[in-house]
A and B are shown apart, each in its own frame.
Chain A
Amino acid sequence: MSEFPLLLENSVITLQEAFIGLLLGVSVGFCVAVLMDTFNALYKAFYPLLIITQTIPSVAIAPLLVLWFGYEMTPKIVLIVISTFFPVTVGLLDGFRSADKDAIGLLRSMGASRIQVFRYIKFPSALPQLFSGLRIAAAYSVVGAVISEWLGGFGGLGVYMTRVKKAFAFDKMFAVIFLISAISLALMALVGFAEKKCMPYRNTNEKEKKV
């Protein structure tokens, strides 16, 4: 337990990377999804490409990123962005496409603009899929941070892990694994909380079903 402050310090670094990476990844994912939904040509051209990016194992590109961006935070963030934007983009794209065509017709009959159709129909229809994607992205972000630290860095739980591994300190190893899981779970819980806040109508539905 003497190493608790050290552990905390490293967790903060990892959490920081995961958080910034996730935020950027979600933003990128959102923009890509909106662009691909608006321009059908982009959708056709980039959807297969999007899938291919996901078949590349992140462990394989992490060393490359270290080579290009050094040992600081940048390569970690880049890796997290690469691995988190995908579930968000795919979730949103499916969500946009699931929007009720008649509801869009109704809004158009009321003279709604494209932006209004997006705001009132498409985006809210995609919220459930967005949150499923976010939950996966949250888990990926922590794993991504740890892996990239592992392969080169000055601080973070990944770096700490390689250090205790070299010292054969298995108890500490388990402590770190436990901590990483806990952080992932906490992030996912946060997403779940946001989900409940953003979709209050869902809660009322469930209540009614149970009655």
Chain B
Amino acid sequence: MNKLEVKNISKSFGDNHVLNDISIELNRGELVCLLGVSGGGKTTLFNIISGLLTPDKGQVLLDGNNITNQPGHISYMLQKDLLLPYRTIEDNAALPLLLKGVKKKEARMQVSPMFRQFGLEGTQKKYPAQLSGGMRQRAALLRTYMFSKDVALLDEPFSALDTITKSSMHKWYLNVMEKIQLSTLFITHDIDEAILISDRIYLLSGSPGEITGEIVIKEPKPRREDFNLTEEFLEYKRKILSLL
């Protein structure tokens, strides 16, 4: 069975028809990218999947259960890192646990072993403003991961980073993903990023947003060091460009 199933979702804001009959699936442990132009309705779709927005039509199923309109089931990392500036990194990462009623001390103990894996050693007692952009993004990913080790929605988690930091984040991310087996839906408008990290890519066209194509990246994981310089990579890129 699919981990997450999005069935025939449509959504309009007034006259603005943003999403039209969107259906996507996510299998266990899979990383699937949603690639599309700006304003195409990607964030809107995530808001619906996470239960923050009500769709006009359609359903969201998690392990076969209907969770349409119910927040609190899926980890969601929004387009901004949204770390709380008045809380230390450790307490930011522990936030999902605190919200579930775990005591502060216990919550800190649960997040602390993850700091190494997420490359955040030594930042436990720091405030978000004291961290670099890449570190903040990793802290937000850690918080997302602490909420649920099951399904995560990531909305352009790396788009605010410069290309060098971004590519080192990709390496790190693929590495961590190998270990933690999270089923992930990932929004991006960076084609290279999508090919580099996904198992599968959905192409979303704008106004109204519709799925216009699905591409499976057959390259085994972990990906080769120079995968993004190979002929296969270029082939995938050409195919995507022709479909967008």
Listed in ascending order, the chain A residues whose CB lies under 8 Å from chain B are 100, 102-103, 105-112, 116, 120-121, 124, 127, 199, 201, 204-205, 208
State the total of A-B contacts with C-beta under 8 angstroms: 59
In the complex where A109-B71, A109-B72, A112-B99 touch, is A205 in contact with B129 (Cβ < 8 A)? yes
| Chain A, residue nearest B97 (CB) | A110
Q: Residues of B contacting A102 with CB < 8 Å?
A: 78-80, 82
Query: In the bound complex, how far is the Cα of B74 from the Cα of A111, in angstroms?
Result: 9
Identify which of residues 61-77 in chain B touch chain A, using a CB-to-CB cut-off of 8 Å. Answer: 71-74, 76
Bound together, the chains give a CA A105 to CA B98 distance in angstroms of 17
CB contacts (< 8 Å) of B209 on chain A: these are none
A48 to B208, CA, bound (A): 43
Nearest chain A CB to B68's CB is how many angstroms away? 14
Known: A102-B82, A120-B95. A110 touches B72 (CB 8 A): yes
In the complex, are the beta carbons of A208 and B129 less than 8 A apart? yes
Given A109-B52, A204-B129, also A199-B147 (CB < 8 A): no
CA distance A41 to B79 in the complex (A): 32
Contacts of A108 in B (CB 8 A): 52, 71
B50 at the interface (CB under 8 A from A): yes
Contact A103 B52 (CB under 8 A): no
Which residues of chain B (23-57) have a CB below 8 Å from chain A?
Answer: 47, 50-52
- In the complex, A112→B72 CA distance in Å? 8
Given A110-B72, A204-B129, CB of A105 within 8 Å of CB of B78: yes
Establish whether residues A111 and B84, one from each chain, have CB atoms under 8 Å apart when the complex forms: no
Q: State whether A201 touches B82 (Cβ < 8 A).
A: no
Q: Which residues of B contact A (CB under 8 A)?
A: 47, 50-52, 71-74, 76, 78-80, 82, 84-87, 95-96, 98-100, 126-127, 129-130, 147
Complex Cα gap A112–B76 (Å): 13
A106 to B84, CA, bound (A): 11
Q: 14 additional contacts, CB 8 Å, given A102-B80, A106-B76, A124-B86?
A: A102-B78, A102-B79, A105-B52, A105-B78, A109-B50, A109-B71, A110-B71, A110-B96, A110-B147, A111-B100, A116-B99, A121-B84, A199-B86, A205-B127
Using CB atoms, name the residue of chain B closest to A125.
Answer: B86
What are 20 A-B contacts defined by CB distance under 8 Å?
A100-B82, A102-B78, A102-B80, A102-B82, A105-B52, A106-B76, A107-B99, A109-B51, A109-B71, A109-B76, A110-B72, A111-B73, A112-B99, A120-B84, A124-B86, A127-B86, A201-B86, A205-B129, A208-B129, A208-B130
Do the beta carbons of A204 and B130 come within 8 Å of each other? Answer: yes
CB distance from B19 to the nearest CB of A (A): 18
Q: A204 CA to B128 CA in the complex, in Å?
A: 10
B residues in contact with A111, CB < 8 Å? 71-73, 99-100
Contacts of A204 in B (CB 8 A): 126-127, 129-130
Q: Is the CB of B84 within 8 A of A124?
A: yes
Contact residues in B for A201 (Cβ distance below 8 Å) = 85-87, 127, 129
**A106→B81 CA distance, assembly (Å):** 10
- Bound: A201/B91 CA distance, A: 13
Contacts of A116 in B (CB 8 A): 99
Chain A positions within 8 Å of B76 at CB level: 106, 109-110
Nearest residue (CB) in B for A107 is: B99
The CA-CA distance from A107 to B99 in the complex, in Å, is 8
